[in-house]
A = this chain, B = another copy of it.
Amino acid sequence: MTRDNFSNDRRATITDVAREAGTGKTSISRYLNGETGVLSTELRERIEEAIAKLDYRPNQMARGLKRGRNRLVGMLVADLTNPYSVEVLQGVEAACHAYGYMPLICHAANEVDLERRYLQLLTTYRVEGVIVNALGVKEETLETLARGGVPVVLVDRAVEGLVADMVGLDNPEAVRMAIRHLVSQGFDELLFVVQPYAQVSSRRVREAAFRDTIGALGISGVTIVLDLDNDENLAEIDARISAAQSQNRRVALFAANAPVALRVALHMKDRHGVDWQRRVALMSIDDSEWAELDGMTTVRQPTYNIGERAVEFLHERIEGAGVAARECLLPGELIVRASTSASTNNGGT
């Protein structure tokens, strides 16, 4: 054995295979591209042997360079720390495999400039499309991409001024569902807690839906903005709760997403001890793993479907669909647990 056809450090190329099989590169290429039936079975066998012997793997880079598509799609995730993102990701991955795409996952870790750098990088690798769940990309950055012929689909969050496909939760309905539940459980004072929402469409929509709904229902309530990096407003929550409870109102906290819910829960535990849930009712959008453990009512998002749907949209665009921008709003599911049960929890002191 001459040592140099096996593990020769340098990977075998199509030329090596052709030589080994005693034929031309074209036939190899045809074989690789499944143009079966165009090759004599005899040749095909020789090719298969050669490929196996050399442990040949076609170079996707070269392939992409030539044919202009590399099957790469970018997935920009604002925060993998948020289980929501991971779940969406799973849907994205599954769908990508189904369509033959390779997802390039970029994690911006909530940093706006990382976000922009990644987008640059993605165009540099000539991805065929991008799925964006981002914190602060400006319409401008994305617009550049889109004009460059790279389809963009947005997840969870719209980007101001950008017309593009978008898929996410049906926020207004989710919020209504939650509020109706709270009302049916006898709560009559609602505190909606949300991160600064000016820049993030989904937060904005949820907040608006909250105000609309309590208005329509004639329920008393107020929005409290909570910055997770600077949680001074936790004090305001405490004050509101005390005030309401001293008037014998039954107050419930409604967190706009899981990170907020966690922050609030931690604070309540600090303040009221391990029995905090007997003193204050908390529910949230996003069904995290501890929601079950701590018996918190939630609205579960159809995360997996959101991911799948995003890829479908993207695929259609990549295939050249020229239709107008679409919006896909999927329904959430109310998961009722003890935290909002009328008996478990009472607002009295």
Interface, chain A (partner B; CB < 8 A): 7, 9-11, 55, 57-62, 64-65, 70, 80-81, 83, 86, 89-90, 93, 102, 104-105, 107, 109, 120-121, 123-126, 144, 147-149, 262, 265-266, 269, 274, 277, 289-290, 292-295, 338
Q: Which residue of B lies closest to A87 (CB)?
A: B81
Known A11-B148, A62-B65; 4 more pairs at CB < 8 Å: A61-B61, A80-B86, A266-B293, A293-B294
Do A59 and B65 have beta carbons less than 8 Å apart? yes
For residue A292, which residues in chain B have a CB less than 8 angstroms away from its CB?
A: 266
For residue A55, which residues in chain B have a CB less than 8 angstroms away from its CB?
A: 144, 148
The 8 Å CB contact of A293, one of B64, B80, B265, is B265
CA distance A107 to B85 in the complex (A): 13
Do B102 and A90 have beta carbons less than 8 Å apart? no
The 8 Å CB contact of A93, one of B102, B109, B125, B265, is B109
For residue A126, which residues in chain B have a CB less than 8 angstroms away from its CB?
A: 11, 59-61
For residue A10, which residues in chain B have a CB less than 8 angstroms away from its CB?
A: 149
The smallest beta-carbon distance between A201 and chain B, in angstroms, is: 25
For residue A80, which residues in chain B have a CB less than 8 angstroms away from its CB?
A: 80, 86, 89-90
The 8 Å CB contact of A107, one of B60, B89, B148, is B89
Do B294 and A147 have beta carbons less than 8 Å apart? no
The 8 Å CB contact of A295, one of B90, B124, B274, B290, is B274
For residue A148, which residues in chain B have a CB less than 8 angstroms away from its CB?
A: 7, 9, 11, 55
Q: Which residue of B lies closest to A338 (CB)?
A: B274
CA distance A126 to B63 in the complex (A): 12
CA distance A135 to B256 in the complex (A): 35
Q: Would A102 and B125 be within 8 Å (CB), given that A70-B61, A120-B57, A262-B289 are in contact? A: yes
Do B109 and A90 have beta carbons less than 8 Å apart? yes
For residue A81, which residues in chain B have a CB less than 8 angstroms away from its CB?
A: 83, 86
The smallest beta-carbon distance between A345 and chain B, in angstroms, is: 12
For residue A149, which residues in chain B have a CB less than 8 angstroms away from its CB?
A: 9-11
The 8 Å CB contact of A124, one of B58, B89, B123, B294, is B58
For residue A105, which residues in chain B have a CB less than 8 angstroms away from its CB?
A: 104-105, 107
CA distance A89 to B144 in the complex (A): 29
CA distance A102 to B121 in the complex (A): 8
CA distance A188 to B226 in the complex (A): 44
The smallest beta-carbon distance between A338 and chain B, in angstroms, is: 8
The smallest beta-carbon distance between A339 and chain B, in angstroms, is: 11
Q: Which residue of B lies closest to A77 (CB)?
A: B105
For residue A338, which residues in chain B have a CB less than 8 angstroms away from its CB?
A: 274
